[in-house]
Each structure stands twice: as structure tokens, then as C-alpha cells.
Amino acid sequence: MNIRNHLLLFVIFTRCFIAASVHAEPLIVPAPPEIKATSYIVMDFNSDHILVEKNIDERLPPASLTKIMTVYVVCHELKSGKIRLDDRVVVSERAWRMQGSRMFIEVNKEVSVEDLLMGVIIQSGNDASVALAEHISGSEDVFASMMNNYAKKLGMTGTNFMNSTGLPDEQNYTTARDLAILAKALIRDFPDIYGWHSIREFIFNGIKQHNRNRLLWSDSSVDGIKTGHTEEAGYCLVTSAKREDMRLISVILGADGTNTRTAASQSLLNYGYRFYETRKLYGANEIISTTKIWKGETDALDLGIDHDLYVTVARGQFKNLNTSVEVDPKITAPVMKGERCGTLKVSYSGKQLVTDSLVALQTVTEGNMFNRLKDDVRLLFQ
């Protein structure tokens, strides 16, 4: 072998060694930034994966973050047709007298549901919140019961609402985890109304007021969602941002100032986008596995999941995901579409990320007598 061939082999070997070394080196995700707040969370919208957390189940006063649920309830009423955006609401004296942040509606004047909803979302108006609550339920107490019913349906196990505004009450509390769940529900269920949360200013009654979410001016990926502050709650902020196809939700509770909550939210979002990525692993009703079905009109049954499945991992590590399928033994017809027939597991670096049900993607009825007898014989020898 001549010198040229020796050099060529050396170069090939060196490149392969370097490539193997790079591939073997684990990706190091640094610890998240230090945040000066009582409780906080960063959650991926699609996968529900929690990237960062601190005291996320501690029950704390929600301040005006309560209004996220107020908006959520109003959206359901609009969707059901019980109210309309152009409905005229007569402002009660109680709504007019509300203290704190206001949109400055006037007593006994008529205001549209649309304007009131804008006043809640953009100006965080306590007066607008009470006016909507009274219009929908007759009283704020009944409206608070509706809020709690929706919280229960959404799985917000650490939350209780006493009013539509978030004004202090010992029995008015929530958690960072629950607020992330609520924010996701609002974005998912009512994307059109959620879009209003990115509006920077609103003029009503000749008064221009600005959205208190400063990130709307400094980060173009941020499109919501709500600020809050009372003396007991501190400074709070629920934020959502979307960069490319990845949406994150962050919740900050109990910060010591407006600048602190803004900087903390920005820092956590930047950390999440820099070191993590989310991809769709399987689509709804996509065939993941095909298995044998006994005594059916057909011998094969397609299995999958009934929803899109997203997974969040450290950037560049999707190639290291492991998926496994466990199919129930001896599946026998009839089987209905959507019936559970197994389990899908997704793991990464030995850690279980997802455990999901595999379901039948089609209905398989019983086969004719000949097919059933044939499979009975086969099963005797199994």
C-alpha cells in the first residue's frame, strides 16, 4: 500500500472517530436561570411537558390573573349563543364603583359585550369584569360558581375563585400549574378571542389605556396573556409565546416588581426555546402498529392514538428517543373503533416521557362461522 492510500485511510479513520465521539457526547442542558418569584412554571403548549418549575402546586392569591378564567367563561357563553358580542349591558352601580384597574364605564350606561371584553383583556378592568359577570349570571357570586365549575372540568385541582376580578379574598387562590392549564385551554379552545390579548392599547370613553404586558413591545413572539398585582399576591404574569412551531406558556407568581416579573418571564422563555424543542411524534389516527385480530371479518387490526402526540426533549436529541408498543394478547372481534388495545411508550435516556393508549383505528366485526371456527382451531395450538 502506497503512502497516499495510508494517508487516505488515516483521514477516514480520524473523521469516523471524531463523528463517533461527537455523537456519543451527551447534550448538557444547564440549570434554568434564577428567578426571584414565589412560584413559576414553563410548560410546552403541545406536549404539556414542564421545562422549569418551582412551587408549582403552592396555593397563592391570583390577583388579576383571575380574569383569564373570567374571559374563558365569557367565551363559552359566546360560543353557546347565550350572549353575543353586540349585546348591550347596562352598567350597575356595583360594577361602576369597583376599585383598582378600570376601563371607566359609567353607571346606568349601556356598553357592548365586545367593549367590556376588550376592557377586561387589555385594560384589566375590574368594572368590566363585574359588569360581564352580572350580565351572564345575574350576580358575581353565581358567576364565581361557574368559574369554579370550569376549573374543575379543566383539572385545576388547586384553584378556587370567589370573584371575577381577583380582588383579595382568603378563599381566592390558585397555583402556577393550574394557571398554565387554564392558559392552554383558552388558547386552544378560543384562539380568536385569545388573539385579542396581543392588542397593545384600547380607547374607551375617550381614554386610551395600554396593555400592561410589557413583553408585547419587546418580544415579537409574545402574543399574550395577562398581568396581575395586589399587595398580597405581588407582581404576577402569565405569558405565552410562539417561535416557529413551538409555543411555550410561562407563569410567574409573587415577583417583587413589574420589571422583575417581565425580566423573569423573558428569561424563562429564552431558556426554554434555547435548550428544548418540541416535535409531533405521531398524528391522530396515524397507523403505529398492525396486529392480528382473531375471529374477525379481517385478520389485521390497525392501532394508533386518537390525538396528535408531541414530545419535548433537549435540542438535537430526538434521534435518541425510544418508542415501544405493547399490544394486548389475543385481541378478538368484535372490536370497536377507539377501543383500547395496547400501550405506546416513549422514553429518552432511560426516563419515561409518555405512556399512551393504543386504540383500534377501525371497527372489526365478527367474521363468518367458517372464520371463527378456523381461528378456534388455531388458538388451540397457540
Nearest Cα to Cα of residue 105 among 78, 127, 138, 133:
127
Name the burial class of residue 163, with classes exposed (0-12), middle (13-18) and buried (19+) by CB atoms within 10 angstroms of its CB: buried
The residue from 47, 67, 129, 226 that is catalytic is 67
DSSP state at residue 320: G
Residue 228, classed as helix, strand or coil, is: strand
Nearest Cα to Cα of residue 41 among 197, 156, 231, 175:
175
Nearest Cα to Cα of residue 120 among 40, 189, 209, 182:
209
d(CA 144, CA 161): 6
C-alpha torsion 286→290→291→296, nearest 10? 80
d(CA 365, CA 360): 12
Q: Is 164 among the residues known to form the active site?
A: no
d(CA 71, CA 274): 32
DSSP string, 240-257: EEEETTEEEEEEEEEESS
Residues 6+ apart with CB under 8 A from 14: none
- The grid coordinates listed for 183 are 392558559
d(CA 287, CA 256): 51
Over the Cα atoms of the chain, what is R_g? 27
Nearest Cα to Cα of residue 128 among 138, 144, 113:
113
d(CA 66, CA 211): 16
The residue from 124, 137, 164, 250 that is catalytic is 124
Q: Is 64 among the residues known to form the active site?
A: yes
- The grid coordinates listed for 113 are 359585550
d(CA 190, CA 186): 6
Q: Is 330 among the residues known to form the active site?
A: no
The residue from 39, 47, 64, 101 that is catalytic is 64
Give the pairing of strands 246-255 and 289-292. Answer: unpaired
Give the pairing of strands 276-282 and 50-54. Answer: unpaired
Query: CB–CB of 222/272 below 8 Å?
Result: no
Catalytic residues: 64, 67, 124
